[in-house]
Amino acid sequence: MADTTDRLNLLIAASKPRFRTATEFVEATLKAGIIDGSLPAGTPLRQEDLATRFQVSRMPVREALRQLESQALVDFHPHRGAIVAELSAADSADVASIRVAVETAALSLSIPRLTEEDLNRAEELLAEMDSEPTEALGELNHRFHLTLMSRAGHPRLLTLVEQHLALADRYVRFLVAARGHQELSQDDHSELLAAARARDIPAACAIVTRHIEEGHRSLHDFLTQRTS
């Protein structure tokens, strides 16, 4: 714990001159520490302690922690308060393998039934992803994928799809927060939409499989490098 405290103090000292508001200062400093591993998973982030260390009131600390939660960097627990989020490459691999199975099945059933309105809505979501702030990207990514699978006609299958898209969302948001918008692989999204428009089921399934597996590899590589 002492090492974590020392690292946080160094981050605060290095960051302080760069930000216009107290919320920006606290958010950016904690985000940098979480992403580079200086603040490891499970580290408690107590509002009173942080307010003292950052020499700010509790309000900007509270707002900064909520913003970090929206980026999947912080979790809130009923009895523990805010802690640095736990991100597991093994869990990501498990989610990815299930997503490949259920999403290729759902796409195969849905693509022949997609309407022009469905395809246009998917295109609109792609455009929104290019312009929206980081905290909205996970939800837009979720809605894009689900739109293309929405006509599968099997409610239990779509429930599985939705469950595992939700599980994957925290990893998507984390990677976007750590590495930027390129982690959304918009080229893959555009190719997937084009394949759906062409009613090319094998191509669409190959694209979504590659997209999911490359996303997991990117996360695995990042977490490995961060802890090495």
Asked if 205 and 191 touch (Cβ cutoff 8 Å), the reply is no
Q: What is the pLDDT of residue 220?
A: 87
pTM (two decimals): 0.74
Q: What is the 3-state secondary structure (H, E, C) of the chain?
A: CHHHHHHHHHHHHHHHHHCCCHHHHHHHHHHHHHHCCCCCCCCECCHHHHHHHHCCCHHHHHHHHHHHHHCCCEEEECCCEEEECCCCHHHHHHHHHHHHHHHHHHHHHHHHHCCHHHHHHHHHHHHHHHHCCHHHHHHHHHHHHHHHHCCCCCHHHHHHHHHHHHHHHHHHHHHHHHHCHHHHCHHHHHHHHHHHHCCCHHHHHHHHHHHHHHHHHHHHHHHHHHHC
Q: Say how far residue 125 (Cα) sits from the centre of its chain.
A: 16
pLDDT tens across the length of the chain (228 residues)? 556 667 777 778 776 666 778 999 999 999 888 887 888 888 999 999 999 999 999 999 999 999 998 887 899 988 788 999 888 888 889 999 999 999 999 999 999 999 999 999 999 999 988 876 656 777 888 899 999 999 999 999 999 999 898 888 878 878 877 777 666 678 999 999 999 999 999 999 999 999 999 988 988 888 777 655
pLDDT at 64: 95
Please give the pLDDT value at position 46: 93
Q: Which pLDDT score, from 0 to 100, does residue 223 have? A: 78
The pLDDT of residue 183: 62
Domains and CATH numbers, the chain: 2-84 (1.10.10.10), 89-227 (1.20.120.530)
